[in-house]
Amino acid sequence: MELERYRALLCAIEKGSLSAAGEAMGYTPSGISRMMAALEEEHGFALLVRRREGVVPTKSCEEMIPVIRELVFSADKLSQLSGRIRGAETGTVTIGLAYHTWYSWLSRVAEAFRVQYPGIQIRYSSAYSLELAHQLERREVDFCIISKRGGDHGWIPLCQDPLMAMVPASHPLAQAESVPLASFETEPFIEMFSGIETDNANVFARQGIRPNTQYTISDVHAAYSMVEAGLGISMNNALNSRLWSGSVKFLPLDPPQLVEIGIATDPAMSPAAQRFLEFARPYFKELA
């Protein structure tokens, strides 16, 4: 029961709400509140700050979160290992994915996996690469498909994907074979995820480019719509060009800029996650 209380605490922090945590875990709001009260009584100090808009961890709780995550992770890993020894594969695998165009591939692999291992549940987390790398560090995902980032994790390379310029079909650059990187210093630039270490930001930093940023957004679909409306140019992965069929040209950069995409893994991956990766390996060649 105590482990379930810690799970509930982590869920409440992630959701920002006791009622949302209760809904996600199958408890009533009062049931979740009683679990939090029991934990706070056990530790002798408050773990959550209750506000009108939800809950946030106290500073004391923030100090404990890494240890709590490790405790829950180890308990789940032990349970999965015990199940494997008994011949009953169980557990949950949480997969992070930074590229929407690969959801159909991942869903197909997960469906085939569930037929063979019905006791293992699959969950997904969608975010940009750096955030997923942080989620991996916090043990919120078991592994993630991202562009390569530094950190203490395993790495399975999948492919080299070129970054592409996104240009309105009516723009003079749309008639060119490639778009010089220097163009981003003069053309109105639509920036995605401002202030975050994105693939675009890394390219500009390496090449000494200071983009003429006119718009900042945090949604790839919005960037596409703004480019299509003629508000400026942007940059995205070539694999994402498969998502749209409107009047936006995806053109190579000059000089070309490649991004290594792969699977970042937890060195202490759970048995269920290990089983999924073993099962998925034959499918990796489809992504290359």
**Domain at 186, CATH number:** 3.40.190.290
Residue 143 forms part of a structural domain: no
Which of 48, 72, 96 is at the close of a domain? 72
pLDDT of residue 1: 53
pLDDT of residue 87: 56
Q: Which domain holds residue 186?
A: 159-260
Residue 266 forms part of a structural domain: no
Which of 56, 72, 88 is at the close of a domain? 72
Residue 110 forms part of a structural domain: no
Residue 31 forms part of a structural domain: yes
Residue 15 CB neighbour total at 10 angstroms: 17
Residue 12 forms part of a structural domain: yes
Residue 242 forms part of a structural domain: yes
Residue 282 forms part of a structural domain: no
Per the structure, the count of domains in the chain is: 2
Q: At 24, which CATH number?
A: 1.10.10.10
Residue 90 forms part of a structural domain: no
pLDDT of residue 86: 60
Which of 39, 72, 105 is at the close of a domain? 72
Q: pLDDT tens, position by position, for the chain (288 residues)?
A: 578 888 888 888 888 888 888 888 888 888 888 888 888 888 989 999 988 888 899 999 999 988 988 888 888 778 777 766 665 577 889 999 998 889 999 999 999 999 999 989 999 999 999 999 999 998 889 999 999 998 889 999 999 999 999 999 999 999 999 999 999 999 999 999 888 899 999 999 999 999 999 999 988 889 999 999 999 999 999 988 877 777 899 999 999 999 999 999 988 888 889 999 999 999 998 876
